[in-house]
Amino acid sequence: MSGLKVLAVEDESLVAMQLEDMLYEFGCELVGLAMRVNRGVEMAEQLPQIDFAVLDVNIAGDKVYPIAEKLRQRGVPLVFATGYGRAGVDEVWHDCPIVQKPYTASELELHIGSALAAKTGAR
């Protein structure tokens, strides 16, 4: 995962900091951190390179799906993070890896690997 550019969407500051630390340990570069859906949509549209994204499903009471849709249009692999597990993600997105909060670095790494493998067809 070294050198991969990541967009993260997370509205809880402590979780965002922990996620940033995990991504840094994986060798990734955080190219954007959005704490609101509208900012995440802007980043999804405007950032020149995003290799994958980690999206909290519920951002300040709003669902993250508008961001996910923009990223899907660009072919960016997604990992959803939610405290509700698979039940907390709309069924249309169940083809994406879903990590349940609270997650460990190894769980996140596994799900990111799944997202990247699915993009390359190595599933």
pTM of the model: 0.95
The amino acid sitting at 71 is L
Could you report the per-residue pLDDT of 70-98, keeping only the tens digit for each?
999 999 999 999 999 999 999 999 999 99
The amino acid sitting at 45 is E
Structure-token pair, residue 27:
């060798």
The count of structural domains within the chain is: 1
CA dist., res. 80 & res. 40, Å (int): 14
CATH code: domain of residue 50: 3.40.50.2300
Structure-token pair, residue 99:
């990590």
Range of the domain at 53: 5-120
